[in-house]
Structure 1
Amino acid sequence: MITKDLYERKELRQLVKDFTRNEIVPHLDEWERQGEVPRELHKKAAELDLLGIGFEHGDLLDSVVLTEEIIQSGGSSGVMAALFTLGIAIPHIWQSGNQDLIERFAKPAIRGEKIGSLAVTEPGAGSDVAGIRTKAVREGDHYIVNGTKTFITSGCRADFVTTAVRTGEKGYKGISLLVIEDGFTRRKLDKMGWHCSDTAELHFDDVHVPAKNLVGEENQGFALIMQQFQVERITMAVEAYATAQRALDLTVEWTRNRETFGKPLIKNQVVSHKLAEMAQKIDLARTYTREVAARVNRNEECVTEVCFAKNAAVQACSEVVDAAVQLHGGMGYMRESEVERHYRDARILGIGGGASEVMTELAARRLGFA
């Protein structure tokens, strides 16, 4: 049972709230136009030890608080993707215990000195990780890498990319992880949302990668990727319900201040009931996701529940941001309206980290229904 105190880490919440309001909110519109967040933001976050949560200190539940507070204080899931890409780039390195890799890549990322990204998805292989084709052939003390990765978060700015490659037979048994620093080309991709988070397609053409950059054992990368997916999916569920909560908060304020036909918009029963329905969806998603997060934090087996949490939170978010735009009327359709950004950003949450349909299929299989 989760106690209230577990999620009332007041000092951490206040620290994150102040950081968001001072260092993110005033600049977010500009970063959206520029298509990326500045490297300086990583360093400022590192100075407050925010990038080390879940690695050098804290745990998944602290990360939940961090994610909730950044979004609910005026940030966005796009900011989370850009600033905390290390959350998917270095866990495999950290868990491997390889001190050389940790010192060269993980710790500099935690200090805000380097930006890392994770490259798994390919043009012909998204959620089907076992089907990746990017090939790495061992030649002496190097691997020669050929292939393409796409939809890579922070791929344009990354100083290193933790890359899933095929080193062995077909299927999940032949996959390894290599940390690749240079020698490849990048193409920036334009997106519907997450405008402040750069996304790239990466091309590897006979790229030489030192064999010492292998993460873990050769041909054992699939398990490392799957283990991290649990945390990534919970994080995206948190981003979903936190985004919904922010959209609701903005909508409540708007409907209280907006007058139509001589009275505040919120005084119309159809509006107040809609707000109550939005709050209900958010609370159910938040309560369930927090409980599952606590189980993941205890290393319990809960793959099915993680799938449920992600899908439930994404569905709640999708419905809430849509209603938020509707209740804002014409203003909700304007770029100057914050809910418009959340509406666009929310769409990726049901795709990234495993599409909603994949989550449902995975849950069905584990329940013995398929």
Structure 2
Amino acid sequence: MNNMYFTEEHNLFRKSLQDFLKKEVVPHIEAWEKAGKIDKSIWKKFGDMGYFGLAYPEAYGGVNLDLFYTVILLEELQKINSGGFAAAVWAHVYLAMTHLNKEGDEALKKQYLEPSITGDKIGCLCISEPFGGSDVAGMRTTAVKKGDHYIINGSKTFITNGVYSDYLIVAVKTSPEKGNKGISIFVLDRDVEGVSATKLDKLGWRASDTGEIAFDNVEVPASQLLGEQDKGFSYIVQHFALERLIMGVNAHARAEFALEYALQYMSERYAFGKSINQFQALRHTLVDAYTDMEMCKAFNYAIAFRLNRGEYVVKEATMSKLKSTKMADDVIYQCLQFLGGYGYMEDYPMARLFRDSRLGPIGGGTSEILREILAKIIIDKKEYKPVT
């Protein structure tokens, strides 16, 4: 099946990426997990290798490759067993940078997108709020125009790269009376006066800096507006397909990693005179888990293929995230059980995998919200259309 989507060039890229991660990232993961902070020098190394520019135009330093190079990057990041490091990378490359590329004008792309591709600047996307969560339209952060500037007040929370990033992509209400029709998006530098961040203590994703960000009379030039005023909600929805598919791919990749580890462990672990992979109850349970993973992977590849062709796949990408993240949680739970007491030990990978995976059904829109979106599409026949 993989040959349907991956060429020899893809496979060579995967091998090169694996070698890079093994050399430059894996030796530091334990330290970053304990410190809750990633050494900033790694971003420049990623930029030098071109990994941040896979999906971006050559005009800004990217290489403009097909979406399956992105799939490979996502999959391999999940297999170094640090959901936090992986999240820090994809939140920069596919959340913050996506808005710069799609809605930024030429000047903003030169100022932010180019150094983002080289790894000289790292970004974050600020949408969720303390009182809103998955309710994007209910955000309370505002931007009031005064002359050639906007004044931003409010707060955001659960922001990946929210503490140590160099710039922020921020969704705000510019016309609160319009509801979701009154949202706009700005890019602003971290060191602008009035911006402050507090690091949050999390169950998992410990290597990443997840922050709560406050905006206190932050003055932003009107030139920092991304796209048109009051069109922000449409831009956000437009990019949901990519974000949800990313989380679906992440999920099938970490489930595959867990299963591969469990298979190896079970072949080496003996009980009652034989390796535990010979006990029928365990064999059949593992096969069920492996089947669920493979079905999600096949679905995700098919959606990536369609998205790569420019199709609008919000429904299918929403299904991807909903199903794949639940599958990953179930599979990793079972893989931890295969390891018995060792699965509960921090010296083995399953404990961290278990913690990190649990964010899947929460981040980027909870499973409950996704089910309601799908109900509107499937039952109520609501149509979501791309921004024109």
- Cα deviation, residue 70, structure 1: 2.5
Q: Which amino acid aligns with 2:35?
A: Q
Rounded to whole Å, the distance in 2 between the matches of 1:148 and 1:97 is 23
2:285 corresponds to 1:274:
yes
Per-residue deviation, 1:40: 1.0
Give the TM-score normalised by the residue count of structure 1: 0.96
> Partner of 1:339 in structure 2?
350
Which segments of 5 or more consecutive residues in structure 1 lack a partner in the other structure?
Answer: none
Deviation, structure 1 residue 113: 0.5
Offset, 1:6: 2.0
1:187 aligns with 2:198: yes
In the TM superposition, residue 299 of structure 1 has moved relative to its aligned partner by 2.0
Give the equivalent residue in structure 2 for 1:308: 319
Matched residue SS, 1:10:
helix
Paired residues of 1:76 and 1:243 also in contact (CA < 8 A): no
Counterpart contact for 2:128–2:136, Cα < 8 Å: yes
Query: Does 2:153 match 1:146?
Result: yes
* Paired residues for 1:1-370 under 5 Å: 4-8=3-7, 9-55=10-56, 56=62, 57-72=64-79, 74-86=80-92, 87-168=94-175, 169-181=177-189, 182-183=192-193, 184-369=195-380
Q: Is 2:325–2:360's contact at 8 Å kept on the other side of the alignment?
A: yes
The answer to whether the 8 Å contact 2:74/2:90 transfers is no
Check whether the contact 1:154–1:199 (CA below 8 A) recurs between aligned residues.
Answer: yes
**AA aligned opposite 2:181:** K
Q: Write the distance in 2 (CA, Å) between the matches of 1:130 and 1:159.
A: 26
Report deviation, 1:236. 0.4
Q: Could you tell me how far 1:309 is from its partner in structure 2?
A: 1.1
How many angstroms apart in 2 are the aligned matches of 1:243 and 1:110? 26
Mean Cα deviation higher: 145-154 or 359-368: 359-368
- Cα RMSD of the aligned pairs, angstroms, is 1.4
Contact 2:169 2:187 in 1 (8 A): yes
Cα contact 1:150–1:201 (8 A) shared by 2: yes
Q: Which amino acid aligns with 1:4?
A: N
Q: What CA distance in whole angstroms lies between the structure 2 residues aligned with 1:104 and 1:15? A: 30
CA contact (8 A) 2:81 2:349 kept: no
Decide which moves more: 109-118 or 58-67. Answer: 58-67
Secondary structure of 2:153's aligned partner: strand
CA–CA distance in structure 1, aligned partners of residues 325 and 104 of structure 2: 34
8 Å contact from structure 2 (residues 241, 317) kept in 1: yes
CA deviations 1:179-225 (Å, max 9, x no partner) are 12122111000101000111000011111111111000011111111
CA shift at 1:302, angstroms? Answer: 2.3
8 Å CA contact retained: 1:150, 1:200: yes
CA distance, structure 2, for counterparts of residue 149 and residue 302 of structure 1 = 28
CA offsets per residue over residues 144-173 of structure 1, 9 Å max, x none?
A: 000010001001101110000110133111
Deviation at 1:5, TM superposition (A): 4.6
Cα distance in 1, alignment partners of residues 242 and 333 from structure 2:
27
Total equivalences in the alignment? 368
Counterpart of 1:143, as a letter, is Y
TM-score (norm 2): 0.92
Question: Identity over the aligned pairs, expressed in percent?
Answer: 38
